[in-house]
Structure 1
Amino acid sequence: MYKTQTRVLVIDDSAFMRKMITDLLSSNEQIEVVGTARNGEDGLKKIKELSPHVVTLDVEMPVMDGIATLKNIMDTNPIPVIMLSSITKEGSTKTIQAISNGAVDFIQKPSGSISLDIDKIKEELIKKVIAAANVKVSKHPKSTEDVDFKTAVNQTFKNSHAQTIVAIGTSTGGPRALQRVLTDLPDDFTTPIVIVQHMPPGFTKSLADRLNTLTKIHIKEATHGEIIQKSTVYIAPGDFHLKIRKMGTSFAVELSKEAERSGHRPSVDVLFESLAEIPNVNKIAVLLTGMGNDGSKGLQRLKEKDSSTVVVAENEESSIVYGMPKAAIKTNTVNHIVHLHQVGHTISNLIKKPRGM
């Protein structure tokens, strides 16, 4: 259940943005803006004084920027933080860093010097703040040693084909979850992975670039028409659906601007449904943390077309937001419900076999 009212502190160096964000949030009766701060140092003092449930935090500020402020919050008094970011390359890079360092989510700042289109983000901002208020933020996340691995998967596919594709869908909390899953895969992991992460244009490239520095597996933003290669992870670019299509004995990336699905482009459903149409390939579909139910319809389609598809969902304990995995589990298509720290191991154990892509 939601708290009676979500107490929010707004930290931004722009007086205009502080006023606009306050007005937008205050328009919802579930939210009370308890204060504002003009930079990180001011914000840290206000957090101690006002005890907010959620903080909105500008990425780029003087005196103490959003990255340094977030680190201090996470080290001393962890509370849910939503970053506000510009769409510049530096802004998107810092935002991905912030998400990886503990921020729950981010909002893309309205474009334009006067920010006249800020009301476009009103619904998204309110939705994310209310969701963030229900997120448990820990100073010391569980280490791998704290997780029960008794349910580790040792099976392989029942009907083993020569080629395998892993498809992953995620939203809120996804960048951190993806980092965990991809770095848990062995360095010699060769099966291609295709990912839909709900994120605006520009940010998916920064996400791919950051993740690519953390593992020997090649991680990139997908491009239209490219042939899917071994030992490579493809992340759908923001504002494009990603489909997989068969080309001879290979697979290709197809990007499209088709209508949004359930408010999303890229959509996990679109990715999963495209995979469902490809015969004679081992399929692993994974649903990680995220708001909403994107991916559920695609999972049902996958199982209808190929009952040997293996579906893995992150469990409630480790999910930042238990929306997408919960919706997936309700479809009765999920084979394995596992802690985030087990997802990478589950994937690699499932496809350990003499042959494979």
Structure 2
Amino acid sequence: MSNEIRVLLCDDSAVMRRLLRASMQSEPCLNVVFEAENGREAVDNVKSVKPDVIIMDVEMPVMDGVDAVREIRKLSRSVPIIMFSSLTSRGAEASLDAIEAGASDFATKPVGAGHITKAMASVRRELIPKLLQWTRRAPIEPPVPFKFDAKATLPPHNGTPTQHEPSFVPEPGKRGFAATSSGQVNVLGIGVSTGGPQALATVLGGLPKDFPIPIVIAQHMPPVFTGLLADRLASQTGHKVREATHGEELLAGNVLLAPGDYHLRVIRDSGVVRAQLDQGPLENSCRPAVDPLFTSLADCYGDRALGLVLTGMGQDGAFGSKRLRERGAHVFAQDQETSVVWGMPGQVVKAGLANKVLPIGQMANEITRMVRAGQPASIT
């Protein structure tokens, strides 16, 4: 079949492999061409099988998923590898290790796989869209094994998944944005998805340690994963990165990450800006989502907010960027060359919402320059 997507499935559980095969029947183009019971079998067969995408379990005998990713990346830089892990601290930690080793993305295994109908629905919601997005587009170079270096840029990536254009794309010359302020910036908001851990480490690691404004981040990740990511970013960058808590004040120098399964917004309460967490409806199929965060920043800070849209699939953040621009705030978007996936930033650029389009390695310097310009004290 001309549109066949060849899938290499690696999981030591026969039950899980059977569940995945059954779930993929909803998409006839997905064809499991090889099943491996451990990472060693996947590595040994990847060149002969020539898969279009690999589903990789984390914990397996003989060779685990993280080591398998490292070995496969020595053989192929082009095949997408999607980690498929349990929603536990151990599974999340291993998935983040695999992303740093070169895996393309991750999805979480269904909770209570014994309930077949619910388990299949979970696979179709969490995993199958990523299989389709990573394969139904121009070839893309997956992430290289990642070692944080604040002075280095990420390697170039090409190609983007097919996405719908945002419904609000303005006509040229009729955007109706407020005049963009060139004055003080009081908050930095970041929205990111696929490729986020590397991109966030690069941006945060390049900012001065005495960064004088709060930073709030919406990264598409489930519970458990976000807490571990915050810990890693704090260790890698030296900044005070942690999950946001409901009602806490936004303070200069703090970096607050939206917890998995919660939207993060900001509100002004008696002159104090506080974090607000809620489990409102999914937005852009996500929770946390970027749009509610950016919209609240526009409402709370107006032209004194700065929005940053980094690598990721989909169009989350585009509507929020529009709200920021309407209030006179600046929006920066990551360029295509350094994005793992130029979906979210690409939509912002295509809609004419980005004040600047920058490589990931230049983001921190440009943010620091802009923030410094509006601050009475110097930033070192």
Asked if 1:236 is matched to 2:258, the reply is: yes
Which residue in 1 is equivalent to 2:272?
250
Aligned to 1:259: 281
Match in the other structure for 1:34: 33
Contact 1:166 1:194 in 2 (8 A): yes
Q: Is the 8 A contact 2:144 2:155 kept in 1?
A: no
SS state at 1:264 partner: coil
Q: Does 1:103 align with 2:123?
A: no
Give 1:167's aligned amino acid: G
TM-score normalised to the size of structure 1? Answer: 0.89
In the alignment, structure 1 residue 348 sits paired with structure 2 residue 348: no
- Residues 291 and 318 of structure 2 are in contact (CA less than 8 Å); yes or no, is this contact kept in structure 1? yes
Counterpart of 1:327, as a letter, is Q
Is 2:140 the counterpart of 1:135? Answer: yes
> Are the structure 2 counterparts of residues 233 and 128 from structure 1 closer, same or farther at C-alpha, using a change threshold of 3 Å?
same
Alpha-carbon distance change, 146 to 208 in structure 1, aligned in 2, over 3 angstroms: closer
Post-superposition shift, 1:188?
2.9
Fraction of identical pairs, as percent: 37
CA distance in 1, matches of 2:277, 2:91: 25
Q: Report the TM-score when normalising by structure 2.
A: 0.84
CA distance in 2, matches of 1:138, 1:109: 22
Maintained 8 Å contact 2:303/2:330: no
In structure 2, runs of 5+ residues without a counterpart are 157-179
- 2:58 matches 1:59: yes
1:153 aligns to what? none
CA contact (8 A) 1:82 1:104 kept: yes
Letter in 2 for 1:355: P
Per the alignment, residue 150 of structure 1 pairs with: none
Change (3 A) 1:274 1:139: closer
Distance 2:154 2:103 in 1: 24
SS of match in other structure, 2:107: strand
CA drift of 1:33 comes to 1.4
1:23 aligns with 2:22: yes
Conserved 8 A contact 1:25-1:125 = no
Match of 1:183 among 166, 189, 205: 205
Listed as ranges, the matches of 1:274-293 within 5 Å are: 274-279=296-301, 282-293=304-315
Change (3 A) 1:5 1:345: farther
Give the corresponding residue for 1:312. Answer: 332
CA distance in 1, matches of 2:295, 2:263: 11
Partner of 2:119: 118
Structure 1 residue identity aligned to 2:183:
S
Task: Give yes or no for contact 2:207–2:368 (8 Å, CA) kept in 1.
Answer: yes
CA RMSD in angstroms, aligned pairs only: 2.3
Whether contact under 8 Å (1:81, 1:132) holds in the other structure is no
Cα distance in 1, alignment partners of residues 309 and 5 from structure 2 = 28
Q: How many pairs align?
A: 343
**CA-CA distance at 1:199 after TM superposition:** 1.3
